Amino acid sequence: MAFENLTERLQGVFKNLRGKRKVTENDVLEITKEIRVALLEADVALPVVKKFIRNIRDRAIGTEVSEALNPAQQVISIVNEELTAILGGGEAELLKSPKIPTIIMMVGLQGAGKTTFAGKLAKKLKEEQNARPLMIAADVYRPAAIDQLKTLGEQLDIPVYDEGTAESPVNIVKNGLAKAREERKDYVLIDTAGRLEIDDKLMDELRQIKALAEPTEILLVVDAMTGQVAAQVAKTFDEQLDITGVIITKLDGDTRGGAALSIREITGKPIKFTGTGEKLTDLEVFYPDRMSSRILGMGDMLTLIEKAQSQFDEEQSAKLAEKMAENRFDYSDFIEQLDQVQSMGPLDEIMKMIPGMSEIPGAANVKVDEKEIARQKAIVLSMTPAERRLEVELNPARRRRLAAGSGNSYVDVNKFIKRFNQSKEMMQGMMSGDMNAMMAGMAK
């Protein structure tokens, strides 16, 4: 995940503050100097860093801190507020046109993730608003882009309008819009062409499409991995097209994150979503306060809960809860649960969203042992259906077979079964509200 180094650096800065009864002007100067270096290393644009540091100094050297009961905490809270402000303050919702269809135009350089984002957004609109979107494939210079969008459309069962590569993008958009109006679609997502770098011809074409379609949203898609370039690209696109919002993709990668921190300040346009992976579900609404909290290592429980809610099928969860309470939870349920948790994303990323995790010494380096999980899965997958349903006793002979079948040792299999039984007892205790049973399970 992006920002890892920045988080670590900032936590180092705050550590020196902790426990201080008084924060002097010198302390503030010292820590803001360190924050400045940390931000520059994270590839945040210089003017943004300067403004940020100035704001923190202005506030932290004033009465706000000297009269606070806990001055160190007050400084951290000022940094949090200023970081939230730099990121845009509040959530910027996707705009909707008062009359249908709402037209959304995707622009950006090639490879930024426009087409992928179009698919992610169409899916979101369809699932959350029951919308009936139409996607228009107007990237005629990269034939693969049209196929890519069509494949996404098939996957999502969302229609894609295209005329191959022979027609001009402006005409394709015109015809596509006519079709959308005719079919009373409520959203139109236009996937436009990108170039490897900004050029006049591209901008000219985008301006023509804009003039024709009069979109409610012009969303610029930028790749977080490109760092300062992303901020520069955003500035140019905004000057040329007056964009309405920014999407930052590939925040899952190992980027320093500076783009996300610079773009709002440089363009004045809000970040609306972030892309956090290649899958169609890897889209997050951008909340400046949550992002700030995550960057400062304070966790992001809200996003975690939302992720869990969107991944877990309610009916399935209710069934599972019932099984837990009645002690019918079996090995098949176990696998199902593992799969659900894993579908939320890499486990060590999820761990980082838990507040305080990053402050536990060494926790940043803890790698969730995905191998151990794979091992447990292999054991269950080697079981017969009857074994998975707990209908037969897993005697030593069966355990030996499971060990051989899953490529584990006999001892590993025993350990796993013991752990499964313990957690089952705990779950039952939890679900039935019987704390004693739960403690008993834990103590074993």
Q: Which is nearer to ligand GDP, 148 or 293 (CB)?
A: 148
**Alpha carbon distance 280, 290 (integer Å):** 22
The amino acid present at 40, given as its one-letter code, is L
Determine if residue 129 is labeled as part of a ligand binding site. no
* Binding positions for ligand GDP, rule: CB under 6 A: 108, 110-116, 145, 148, 194, 221, 249-250, 252-253, 275-278, 282
Strands 187-192 and 217-223: unpaired
Q: Which is nearer to ligand GDP, 199 or 393 (CB)?
A: 199
Please state the closest distance from residue 145 (CB atom) to ligand GDP, in A: 6
**Alpha carbon distance 330, 338 (integer Å):** 13
Please state the closest distance from residue 363 (CB atom) to ligand GDP, in A: 24
221, β-bridge pairs? 247
Question: CB of 8 within 8 A of CB of 364?
Answer: yes
Determine if residue 254 is labeled as part of a ligand binding site. no
Determine if residue 192 is labeled as part of a ligand binding site. yes
Q: Which is nearer to ligand GDP, 110 or 327 (CB)?
A: 110
Nearest to 269 by CA among 294, 251, 286: 286
Q: Which strands, in side-by-side order, build the sheet including 217-223?
A: 160-161, 133-138, 187-192, 102-107, 217-223, 245-249, 271-275, 283-285
Determine if residue 22 is labeled as part of a ligand binding site. no
Q: Which is nearer to ligand GDP, 39 or 248 (CB)?
A: 248
Q: Which is nearer to ligand GDP, 133 or 277 (CB)?
A: 277
Please state the closest distance from residue 191 (CB atom) to ligand GDP, in A: 7
Please state the closest distance from residue 418 (CB atom) to ligand GDP, in A: 38
Q: At what angle do helices 396-406 and 410-432 cross, to 10 degrees?
A: 110
Please state the closest distance from residue 135 (CB atom) to ligand GDP, in A: 12
Tokens linked to 161: 């309008």
The H-or-E segment that residue 188 falls in is: strand 187-192
Determine if residue 109 is labeled as part of a ligand binding site. yes
Determine if residue 108 is labeled as part of a ligand binding site. yes
Determine if residue 85 is labeled as part of a ligand binding site. no
Name the residue number minimizing CB distance to ligand GDP.
275
Q: Which is nearer to ligand GDP, 21 or 201 (CB)?
A: 201
The residue count for the chain: 444
Determine if residue 300 is labeled as part of a ligand binding site. no
Please state the closest distance from residue 307 (CB atom) to ligand GDP, in A: 15
Nearest to 104 by CA among 194, 221, 25: 221
Question: CB of 186 within 8 A of CB of 131?
Answer: yes
**Alpha carbon distance 440, 420 (integer Å):** 15
Determine if residue 195 is labeled as part of a ligand binding site. yes
Dihedral angle, C-alpha 204, 207, 209, 211, nearest 10 °: -140
Q: Which is nearer to ligand GDP, 137 or 295 (CB)?
A: 137
Please state the closest distance from residue 21 (CB atom) to ligand GDP, in A: 45
Alpha helix stretches (DSSP H) within 245-300? 258-267, 288-295
Residues annotated within the binding site are: 108-115, 191-195, 249-252
Residues annotated within the binding site for GTP are: 108-115, 191-195, 249-252
